[in-house]
């Protein structure tokens, strides 16, 4: 049995309406963040807790939270039934079959759905050197396999490149297409976040995705990541609207809140109306990155705001 098949065999198989973890399927459905009063579901991006994971030393494993129990923390602390992993907290673990089995069991036992894995630090998918570009593609394979095993629908990648506007688009599209073709065999989508540089230019990112021309390659609009350079910003609202055409996920970035619980940098109501108007009904991930509130307070404030906005926007 090859590695991919072995990983899949470790997953939660269904037997008479019960998962391998012993949790009834009906129980999982009830514990998901599905809501009758909102048009979307809420997930928790692991980066919201990055200080708790890294600790003062900024080293994984030195913080107060163990990444192995992310799903338990999301459920028991915030009553959130879906999570978005960050690969930085699992370097050296993506091919550790015993660890992956434990990670999946934690999520299954909490009735928490694994949504995606955010991937960084694996090379530039739009590298000007074709060999380095291909190496970056292959570096992502293990995260695709891990996502498939955990039951995620996607991995989030970056589209970093060098060169002219057109050259970067062509190079990034080439790397993304190659990775998407691999991920397609595993039932995993590849989504690109606006994450600095030209990727924060919505016109460029949309053009790149359309050049990839694959149904399993799309965008992950982040409400706050529209800084192209030190001197150039793309409009938050126009950018979100354009990226929503290809969205397979949404990241609700927040920084701070006023006394009424509204985000002070971004008009979340306006942004979520754009999301709704695009016909999106999937997960919206909480990604708190503020400093005034603690991570715990920021996550709770973001969740409360999304629930308030969601109720108001849902017919």
For the beta carbon of residue 107, count every other beta carbon within 10 angstroms. 26
> Bigger pLDDT: 20 or 48?
48
Residue 35 pLDDT level (bands cut at 50, 70, 90): low
pLDDT of residue 5: 46
Tell me, yes or no, if the pTM score tops 0.85. Answer: yes
pLDDT of 262 strictly over 60 = yes
Q: List, for residues 69-78, the tens digit of each pLDDT value.
A: 999 999 999 9
pLDDT of residue 19: 34
- pLDDT over 90 for what percent of the chain? 84
Residue 152 pLDDT level (bands cut at 50, 70, 90): very high
Q: At what angle do helices 97-110 and 141-150 cross, to 10 degrees?
A: 40
pLDDT of residue 59: 78
* Domains by residue range for the chain, with CATH: 3-7+30-313 (3.20.20.150)
pLDDT of residue 36: 59
Q: List, for residues 190-228, the tens digit of each pLDDT value.
A: 999 999 999 999 999 999 999 999 999 999 999 999 999
Minimum mean pLDDT among 36-45, 140-149, 158-167, 233-242: which range? 36-45
264 by Cβ neighbours in 10 Å (0-12 / 13-18 / 19+) ranks as exposed
Residue by residue, DSSP assigns 98-142 as HHHHHHHHHHHHHT-EEEEEE--SS--TB-SSHHHHHHHHHHTHH
CB 261 within 8 A of CB 305: yes
Residue by residue, DSSP assigns the chain as --HHHHHHHTS--EETTEETTS-BHHHHHHHS---TT-SSEEEEEGGGGHHHHHTTTT-TTSSSS-GGGHHHHHHHHH---EEEEEGGGGTTTTT-HHHHHHHHHHHHHHT-EEEEEE--SS--TB-SSHHHHHHHHHHTHHHHHHHHHHT-SEEEE---B-SSHHHHHHHHHHHHHHHHHHHHHTT-EEEEE--SGGGGSHHHHHHHHHHH--TTEEEE-BTT--EEETTEE--HHHHHHHHGGGBS-EEEEE--B-TTS-BSSS-HHHHHHHHHHTT--SEEEEEE--SSS-HHHHHHHHHHHHHHHHHHH--
pLDDT of 142 strictly over 70 = yes
Q: List, for residues 157-188, the tens digit of each pLDDT value.
A: 999 999 999 999 999 999 999 999 999 999 99
The chain-wide mean pLDDT, for the chain, equals 90
- pLDDT over 70 for what percent of the chain? 88
pLDDT of residue 13: 37
For the beta carbon of residue 149, count every other beta carbon within 10 angstroms. 23
Distance of alpha carbon 242 from alpha carbon 202, whole angstroms:
6
């Amino acid at each position: 049995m090859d590695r991919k098949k072995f990983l899949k065999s470790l997953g939660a198989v269904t037997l008479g309406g019960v998962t391998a973890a012993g949790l009834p399927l009906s129980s999982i459905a009830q514990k998901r963040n599905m809501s009758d009063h909102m048009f979307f579901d809420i997930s928790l991006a692991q980066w919201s807790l990055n200080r708790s994971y890294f600790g003062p030393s900024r080293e994984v494993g030195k913080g107060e939270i163990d990444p192995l129990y992310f799903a338990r923390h999301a459920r028991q602390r915030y009553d959130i039934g879906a999570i978005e992993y960050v690969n930085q907290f699992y370097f050296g673990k993506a091919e550790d079959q015993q660890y992956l089995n434990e990670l999946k069991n934690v999520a299954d036992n909490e009735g928490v759905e694994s949504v995606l894995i955010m991937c960084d630090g694996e090379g530039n998918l739009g590298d000007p050197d074709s060999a380095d570009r291909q190496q970056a593609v292959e570096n992502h394979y293990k995260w695709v396999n891990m996502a498939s095993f955990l039951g995620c629908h996607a991995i989030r990648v970056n589209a970093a490149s060098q060169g002219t506007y057109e050259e970067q688009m062509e190079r990034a599209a080439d790397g993304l297409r190659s990775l998407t073709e691999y991920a397609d065999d595993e039932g995993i989508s590849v989504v690109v976040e606006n994450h600095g540089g030209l990727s924060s230019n919505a016109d460029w990112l949309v053009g790149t995705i359309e050049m990839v021309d694959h149904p399993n390659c799309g965008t992950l609009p982040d409400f706050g990541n529209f800084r192209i350079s030190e001197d150039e910003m793309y409009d938050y609202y126009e950018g979100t609207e354009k990226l929503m055409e290809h969205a397979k996920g949404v990241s609700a970035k927040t920084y701070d809140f006023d006394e009424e619980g509204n985000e002070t940098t971004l008009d979340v109501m306006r942004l979520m109306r754009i999301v709704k108007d695009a016909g999106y009904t999937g997960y919206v991930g909480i990604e708190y990155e503020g400093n005034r509130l603690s991570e715990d307070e920021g996550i709770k404030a973001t969740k409360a705001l999304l629930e308030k906005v969601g109720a108001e926007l849902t017919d």
